[in-house]
A and B are shown apart, each in its own frame.
Chain A
Amino acid sequence: MSDWIAIGALAFVAILIPLTMMFVSWLLRPSVPEQGKRATYESGEVPVGSSRAIKFNIQYYMVALLFVVFDVETVFIIPWTVIYEEAVGELGFVEAFAPMALFIGILLFGLAWAWRNGAVSWVRSPRANSQRVD
């Protein structure tokens, strides 16, 4: 039997369970519309402006860019780990280890560069800095 039939079956069951719960809840739950109930929560204040237009820290972009590089890297590391022990037996330690060490080394060099340029340090706005109390 193919493994992927079983994985597909679990995917089917895993989606069916939440849907069933939603259906049961839909049968049971009351609906009492009231004015003001549907306002989004803003600590008791009347919500101001759109929540999708708020400004947020540039850092979220920086780490996402870094992530893409390292995520692709792990895809290359995984096959290497699988054949590593055999490769050491056939080619010797240096031949199996050095190419991957060089590959990861280049990326770690990139990380060091990003580190030095402050890409992985949290960016604080001047206003936030002036309000720090420590």
Chain B
Amino acid sequence: MTLLPQKIADVIGIDSVFVDIFAAIIGAGLVGTLILIQSALAGPWAKRKITAAFTDRISVNKFGPLGVGIIIPDAVRLISKELIVPEGVDRPAWDIAPIILASSALLGFAVIPMGSLGPVNFQLADPEVGLVFVFAVASIASIALVMAGYASNNKYSFLGGLRAVAQNLAYEIPLIVVGISVVLFSGSLRTSEIVAAQQETLFELGPLAIPSWFAILNPFAFFLFLVANMAEVGRNPFDIPEAPTEIVAGHQTEYSSVYFVLLYLGEFVHIFLGGAIVATVFLGGPAGPVLPGLVWFLIKIWAMFLLTQWLRSAVPRVRIDQLIEIGWKGLLVLAFFNLFLTAGLVGVFAA
């Protein structure tokens, strides 16, 4: 299918590289807006409502249907707070860290196939190295966390930054090794081909045709990937870098005003990016019956968001020493076991 920037360029109709760049920026703006809307819904509203439902409270309900209007006053309130710059911060790094966190998470969506709505296919780019690109971009966030932690001149922030590195290092390898185990099936790193490989019917269950989603084909890998993904996006039970009861707010302690908003925005976009990777690699991307692809894609990433919030309400945090041991002694070994198992099965069937 035609990608989004090409579609826009076709609509404009002039064949020139400037039109291509212009169309790419328009397409990127559309995708960026789509993701920002999801984060705006998730941050000030959905997170509160979900947590309230889990803890038997009502939460925001005065402004708009189900209180969804709270997003607007909250956005204005957060943006117009005073920016307090603490003493002794490492100035350029302290300012750049929130920008890196927010933009690196957004950049990952460039290669995600978000399905189609009518004739428009929401995917910006489809390079040959798609899956590697998205993993690479998603892990830039840890640089931002270290910068924020080091530059803040606060001991809690410094510890939070160190913990963020230790956690991302421990869970990056299992995440990638499990993620690429599906490439053994698809034979390509292109995200569109990984999605296409999941569309065949695996078996018929009465009138239902069960598709060969990699989550159904290899549930063990799916489970490992979910766990590693929780650690990668730094959510419960792996929210060690923030750990409010241990180190105040970790790397966020000294941030206020718009910088705080950007850190939070980056985290929410990162959760959605994690959900988008899970959907693309294991849940058939935007595939689904009746509804258009884009709607299914949004349902899948929101399901992943709901899972993070569920775990936040239900699972206690692991300690830092447990985190290191789960990562290096448990997940890493299981990830290689899964790779061997998958390779063995694919090899036996292919031979």
Interface residues of A (CB under 8 A from B): 1-15, 17-19, 21-22, 24-26, 28-32, 37-43, 50-52, 54, 56, 59-60, 63-64, 66-67, 70-71, 73-74, 77-78, 81-86, 88-89, 92-93, 96-97, 100-101, 104, 108, 111, 115, 120-122, 124
Whether the Cβ atoms of B257 and A25 lie closer than 8 Å is yes
A-B contact pairs, 23 of them (CB 8 A): A1-B3, A3-B126, A4-B125, A5-B20, A7-B124, A10-B32, A10-B107, A13-B25, A14-B104, A15-B103, A17-B32, A18-B103, A24-B79, A29-B79, A40-B153, A43-B248, A51-B153, A60-B162, A64-B165, A84-B184, A88-B346, A97-B347, A122-B324
CB–CB B329/A115 < 8 A: yes
Interface segment out of the listed B62-70, B167-175, B225-233, B309-317: B167-175
CA distance A82 to B184 in the complex (A): 6
Give Cα A67–Cα B259 distance, bound, in whole angstroms.
30
The verdict on A77 contacting B180 (CB below 8 Å), with A70-B332, A93-B351 known, is yes
Question: Known interface pairs A29-B257, A81-B180, A93-B351. Does A70 touch B173 (Cβ–Cβ under 8 Å)?
Answer: yes
Residues of B in contact with A (beta carbons under 8 Å apart): 3-6, 9, 20-21, 23-25, 27-29, 31-32, 36, 79-88, 98-99, 102-104, 106-107, 109-111, 124-127, 132-133, 150, 152-159, 162, 165-166, 169-170, 172-173, 176-177, 180-181, 183-185, 187-189, 248, 253-254, 257-259, 261-262, 265, 320-321, 324-325, 328-329, 332-333, 336, 339-340, 343-344, 346-348, 350-351
Asked whether, in the complex, the Cβ of B172 is within 8 Å of the Cβ of A60, the reply is: no
Q: Say yes or no: A1 contacts B346, CB within 8 Å.
A: no
Known: A42-B155, A51-B154. A9 touches B27 (CB 8 A): yes
Measured between beta carbons, the chain B residues less than 8 angstroms from A41 are 86, 154, 156, 248, 253-254
Flag if B328 contacts A111 (CB, 8 Å). Answer: yes
Q: Which residue of B lies closest to A38 (CB)?
A: B87
A78 touches which one: B25, B183, B324 (CB < 8 A)?
Answer: B183
| Residues A14 and B328 in contact, CB atoms below 8 Å apart | no
Q: Are B183 and A29 in contact (CB under 8 A)?
A: no
Which residues of A have CB within 8 Å of B84?
Answer: 37-38
| CB nearest neighbor in A for B132 | A78
Residues of B within 8 A of A3 (CB): 3, 125-127
A42 to B153, CA, bound (A): 11
With beta carbons under 8 angstroms apart, the residue of B103, B253, B329 that contacts A120 is: B329
